[in-house]
Amino acid sequence: MSVDTPRRIVLLRHAKADWPQVSDHERPLAERGRSDAPVAGRRLAETGIGFDLALCSTAVRTRETWKLAVHELPERPRTVYEDRLYEASLGELIALLNDVPDEVSDLLVIGHNPGMHALADALAGRAEGDTATRMNRSGFPTSAFAVLAFDGSWKSVEHGVGTLVDFWTPHD
């Protein structure tokens, strides 16, 4: 696969989490999260993107979101549970994307805010239609996802490299 291959990154924020007396990393999904995650999965399937790889934070709420969403996809992509996604800064998220192998053309990242919103905002040098306005107005709620497209190698991912082509929330 050429380094000039068109690529897509989908950034999915975990579904609504509960607040029991456990560490933040161990927080499970709330009832609303358990109902929103499969809806997000169905909407991901409707995009028609066949993911080559899913990177999922190791936090309980992201793993539970992925478990519920992936059943709605036509094919299950290879999944890597990635410690570096939990509490990652924008720079750490970009460094993680720079490590993605170039055989991957379509990547799904299941993570947390403020990172998912910051990453979508940073990568989107351009936006189609009102996608950026909708994303910034909504603040990237739980179960929302952004779809960004770019050309080039994963090693070339940096601020402004992509186009925000879609943004979805469960309340759209």
For the stretch 23-34, pLDDT in tens is: 999 999 999 999
Asked if residue 161 has pLDDT above 90, the reply is yes
Binding residues: 61
CA-CA distance, 9 to 145, in Å (whole number)?
Answer: 10
Catalytically active residues are 14, 87
pLDDT of residue 172: 76
pLDDT of 85 > 80? The answer is yes
- For residue 121, pLDDT over 90 is answered with yes
Q: What is the pLDDT of residues 41-50, one digit of tens each?
A: 999 999 999 9
Beta strands in the chain (DSSP E): 6-13, 53-57, 78-82, 106-111, 124-127, 145-151, 162-168
Residue 158 has pLDDT above 80, yes or no: yes
Q: pTM (2 decimals)?
A: 0.96
Q: What size, in residues, is the chain?
A: 172
How many Cα atoms are found within 13 Å in the side-chain-facing hemisphere of 93?
28
Q: Which residue is listed with tokens 């028609």?
A: 48
Per domain, the residue ranges of the chain are: 6-168
Residue 101 has pLDDT above 70, yes or no: yes
CATH fold of the domain at 6-168: Rossmann fold (3.40.50)
Give residue 1's pLDDT.
Answer: 53
| Residue 100 bridge partners (DSSP) | none
Q: How many other C-beta atoms lie within 10 A of the C-beta of residue 151?
A: 14
Please give the annotated binding residues for substrate, written as ranges.
61
* Residue 98 binned pLDDT confidence (cut-offs 50, 70, 90): very high
Average pLDDT over residues 79-85: 97
Instruction: For residue 142, give every residue at least 6 positions away whose Cβ sits within 8 Å of its Cβ, in sequence order, or none.
Output: 13, 14, 15, 16, 17, 33, 36, 170
Q: Tokens 């009102």 appear where?
A: 130
Q: Is the pLDDT of residue 5 over 90?
A: no
Mean pLDDT of 95-99: 98
pLDDT above 60 for 61 = yes
Distances (CA, A) of 159 to 39, 109, 125, 165: 30, 17, 7, 16
- C-alpha 57/C-alpha 9 separation (Å) is 15
Is a pLDDT exceeding 90 seen at residue 21? Answer: yes
What pLDDT score does 2 carry?
55
